[in-house]
Each structure stands twice: as structure tokens, then as C-alpha cells.
Amino acid sequence: MGRKSKSGGCCGWLIVALVLLLVVIAVVYGVKKKLEPDDVIVVPGPPGAVEKKYANALKVAVQFFDVQKSGKLEDNKISWRGDSALQDGSEAKLDLSKVNQLEAAQDSLQWITDYLINAHAEANVLYIQVGDPETDHGCWERPEDMKEKRPLTQVNTSSPGTEVAAETAAAMASASLVFKKSDPIYSTTLLEHAEQLFSFADKHRASYSKSIPDVKPYYNSTGYGDELLWAASWLYHATGDKLYLHYVSGKNGKYFANWGSPSWFSWDDKLAGTQVLLSRLTFFGEIDSSNSVLQMYRKTAEAVMCGLIPDSPSATTSRTESGLLWVSEWNALQHPVASAFLAVLFSDYMLTSRTTELLCDGESYKPADLRKFAKSQADYVLGKNPLKMSFLVGYGDKYPEYVHHRGASIPDDATTGCKDGWKWLDSEDPNPNIAVGALVGGPFLNETYIDSRNNSMQGEPSTYNSALLVGLLSSLVTTSSAVQSFT
């Protein structure tokens, strides 16, 4: 289960680091939390009891999205954060700083979708980065105090970026589902942008890290085929247009889907997510279950699931001694949390469709086995590990105190420039501000963790990590049915 990996590093200036967050929030809020009763089939048995542990952790995890907001902060919920980057986009006469506020559940989502709408300035133009990575990494200062130049970087027909354009299309298509009933005009706007971006990504195929070599040390891409399939899959679910279904089941599927070879779901590799998303079409009979291509997507999704269940004959051996999936030293928790999120979704699909077993090399497993695995990964993150420490900042009695986070590490009444802020990075004192909801990178394979602000490999949080955790925790709060069709 390992097709791609990318070099570590989490830089908030890159759009590609935002959109997995967006898609997962869309799944959580748009599918699991916003459905009317007549939209779902009730799963067998009585409703599940709310698991307080996961509900409490979810309340903590969602706060990191407020910690990470940039721009004009109205109704600011984080005392040590303030307005920042208010001039972002001004050189291109764009506003990449302000966004509107919505009520609780949709606030974090629309904050990002408004940003992405503004970043998609023309049909074949998408601004993907604000700031210069080398300059930014040469400074240690609060976002509120930044005075360095923040140049804009775009992908266009001359410098295409298929991955980031397709990923943004997937994000907007999935988000459109959230607003479909509450704000249909906004939902339609998101779909229009999604379809334009997908067309741009598909017609002008090139890796953005080849078009823009400066991003390679930070978010280097190893292929764009998975993002094209991911975007087309979400666009089919959002529109019902079978052109998108034909896209994933035709020559593009044959060329890019890598059927039969399970891989790790991450911000880089969307194949496992695509396979699970498309498997729902056969689970719920939306498409003839005999469709051979969709069956290949589902069979590969099943292979992903079989690799996750610990006692399956095809279980991956990429685990710590305590059972945490472990793939990479950099940001180790991304893969187990992402995998657990997919597992609990697949479990919900099985329950809702009355699918009683999953066969793994002749051995039979139930939806409960997938849910048990997902809980084991969540429990590890929340403190059931050899260190007896929560990797979710702000949850439990013990969690990292030296998180690699500029805003959290510098007192909010300190005034620093680019260079004199380094003393706060090197300080031996814990962070003066708590980045509540941050999910740090996680343990080494030997299950050790060095709580040092300079240890970015283990101690740096990211929005996409927190997004995956929010998706996982939302799915574990209680058993729930899955929606049969989005259209």
C-alpha cells in the first residue's frame, strides 16, 4: 500500500494544502450532519449511543480552523490571533484576505470556499500560492506582524498545474453539496467554478511542481492522474452528469486508476479516496452493480480495507508495535488518520446497504471490524499509546507543549520582525499560546516523540491533518447511515 510519497513540510501559503481540508469538511458537514431523515436508509438495529470521548475530541479538533484563519477576523474566537495578511492578492487586484461569516457548522467551510472563488480569477487561471517559500522559511514571526513581500503565484495555460486545479475542482464540487439546500445560488456558483477548473486541469495537463519548480522542496507532486479521477468523481456526485462517470470509467480510469494496487490516502494520493467514493455507487445500486469498471474501483477499495484490518491475511505490516499505521517519518499521523476515516466510511456504506461481509483472501470480516480498526487509530491519537499522551493539542491532560507553530510560540503582545523572532523558536519555555485542535505530526516508528519546537518533523501541525481527524471523529461519535445519492 504505497504508491506515492512527498517531501515533508507544511506551509500555509499553498492552496493544495487547503483542499483536502475542504473536501473532508464537506463530507462531514454535507453528508453526515446536514441530511434530512428521508435522505437515508436507517441502519439495522437501534441508533448508536453518542461516544462522549469522540464528541469531546471533535469539539477540540474543529478549533484549529479558527487558529489558522488569515485575513480580517470578525467575531474572532481565538484571543491570541488577530488580523493578518490583509494585503494578500492586492497586486492582482484580488481580495484574498476577507471572507463572509456563516453560522457555526458552515463557517470554516465557507471561509475557504470564498477564498478559492477569489483565487480562481479567470476560467484558466488559479492563484495557488501567496508568499515566497524561501523568504517565509527565513522568518519566525506572528502572521499579524508580517511585513515581507507576499508575491502571488498562479497556474495558467502557459504554466499549467493539473493537480492543484483538479484538487480545487474536487473541493468546490464537494462543498457545493453542503450549500445545496441552504444556499442554492452559492452552491451553483461553486459548481460553475468546479467545472471550469476541471476542464482547465484536464485540457492543460502538466504537473504544477514542474511548471513551478520552487514548490518542489515543499509540496512536490508525483503525479496528477489521481487528482483528475478524484475531481471527476466528486463532479459526478455533485451534478449527476454521466460525462464525469464516463471519464472515470473510460480510458482515463484505465490509465490512472491503478486498479488492484491499494495505496495510502493522503494530500498527495487521492486514489484510495476515489475508490471508496465510487464504491458507493455499487453499494447503493445507483449504477448497475455488474458494471465491470466500477467493480474494479470497489474491489480495489476492498483491498485497501483488507490491508487495514490487523488480522486480515493481506494486512499491511506498516505498523508500530502498538498497532498504529506508520508510513512516513514526516507527519506520521496523516496516513493512519486518513486510513481510519476511509475505513469508517466504508463501514457505514456496508451497514446502510445491508452488506454483511468483506472477504479478504477468503476470510470474512464485518463492518464492525473496520470500525474497530478506525477506533484503534483514533484512540492512539487521543492518548492510548505508550507515551500516554494525546497528539491532539488541547485534548486530555498531556499533549505537546512545544508545537512548531509561529503564532502559538510568540506572545501576542510581542512585536517582532522577520529575524528577531527566532528567539521564540529557540526558547526553552512552552508555547505561550495553545494551538487548540492542532494535530501534530506524530511519533517515530519506535513510538517516541520529541516535544521540541525545532522538531518540525514530529511537531508541526497542518490543516489537512486536522481535517482528516475531524472527519474521523465525526464518523465515530455515533453509528450513522450513509446518504444513497447526492443529487
Model confidence over 252-308: pLDDT tens digits?
Answer: 999 999 999 999 999 999 999 999 999 999 998 876 666 789 999 999 999 999 999
Query: Tell me, what's the pLDDT at 359?
Result: 97
Res. 76 pLDDT band, cuts 50 70 90: low
Q: What is the pLDDT of residue 133?
A: 84
- Per-residue model confidence (pLDDT) at position 30: 39
Q: What pLDDT is attached to residue 329?
A: 94
Q: What is the pLDDT of residues 103-122, one digit of tens each?
A: 545 677 888 899 899 999 99
What confidence score (pLDDT) does residue 91 get?
56
**How much is the pLDDT for 4?**
38
Looking at residues 384-400, what average pLDDT do you find? 97
Minimum mean pLDDT range among 70-84, 222-236, 462-476? 70-84
Pick the range with the lowest mean pLDDT from 90-99, 294-303, 385-394.
90-99
pLDDT of residue 84: 42
Q: Which residue has the higher pLDDT, 409 or 145?
A: 409
Q: Give yes or no for residue 5 having a pLDDT over 80.
A: no
Picking from 222, 11, 8, 6, the residue whose alpha carbon sits closest to that of residue 133 is 11
Mean pLDDT value across residues 134-143:
86
* pLDDT tens sequence across 320-360: 999 999 999 999 999 999 999 999 999 999 999 999 999 99
The mean pLDDT of 247-251, rounded to a whole number, is 96
Note the pLDDT tens digit of each residue in 17-52: 445 545 555 455 433 443 344 444 445 544 567 788
**Sign (positive or negative) of CA dihedral 220, 66, 186, 117:** negative
How confident is residue 147, by pLDDT bands cut at 50, 70 and 90? Answer: confident
Asked if pLDDT for residue 312 goes beyond 80, the answer is yes
Q: Classify each residue of 67-77 as buried b or exposed e, where b means 16 or more C-beta atoms within 10 Å of its C-beta.
A: bbbbbebeeee
Weakest-pLDDT range from 62-71, 258-267, 304-313: 62-71
Task: Reply yes or no on whether the pLDDT at 82 is more than 70.
Answer: no
Q: What is the pLDDT of residue 396?
A: 96
Instruction: Give the residue, 4 or 274, on which the prediction is more confident.
Output: 274
| Structural contact between residues 269 and 3, judged by C-beta atoms closer than 8 angstroms | yes
Residue where the block lists cell 486480515: 312
What pLDDT does 46 receive?
46
Report DSSP state, residue 68: T
Q: Say which range, 46-55, 165-174, 359-368, 432-441, has the weakest mean pLDDT.
A: 46-55
Which grid coordinates belong to 439?
494535530
Helix/strand/coil for 291: coil
Secondary structure of 228-267 in HEC code, one letter for each residue: HHHHHHHHHHHHCCHHHHHHHHCHHHHHHCCCCCCCCCCC
The pTM score is 0.87
Report whether pLDDT(480) > 50. yes
Average pLDDT, the chain: 84
Rounded to 10 degrees, the C-alpha dihedral 21/26/28/33 comes to: 150
